[in-house]
Amino acid sequence: MSVEGKWKVTIKSPTGPMATELMLAQVDGALTGTQSGQGMSSPISEAKLDGDKLSWVNHVAKPMKMKLEFSGVVDGSKISGKVKAGFVGSFPFTGVKE
């Protein structure tokens, strides 16, 4: 199954679940996209798919400026893994492709 398309990604943060939407696309042979959540949308970077391992980076400005580094394993239409949230720590996340 292709990873391209819309994913509903939920980060299990200490303050409760945070719902985001990840849009992935292949452009000129490279994986790219955007991630939206809490009323903001930003382009992702460093997106890679290596076998069933998917990773990407998202820079957010709210509630504070932070680099979010996602790393997970794709299993059909689902993904699960960890997100490193700068100095705040790492948290599990899950996702389902729409």
pLDDT tens-digit map of 13-28: 888 999 999 999 999 9
What are the structural domains of the chain? 5-97 (2.40.128.120)
* 61-97 confidence digits (pLDDT tens): 877 789 999 999 999 999 999 999 988 899 999 999 9
pTM, rounded to two decimals: 0.94
In one-letter notation, the amino acid at residue 22 is: L
In one-letter notation, the amino acid at residue 16 is: G
Buried b / exposed e across 8-39, counting CB within 10 Å, b at 16+? ebebeeeeeeeebebbbeeeeeebebebebee
pLDDT of 15 reads: 86
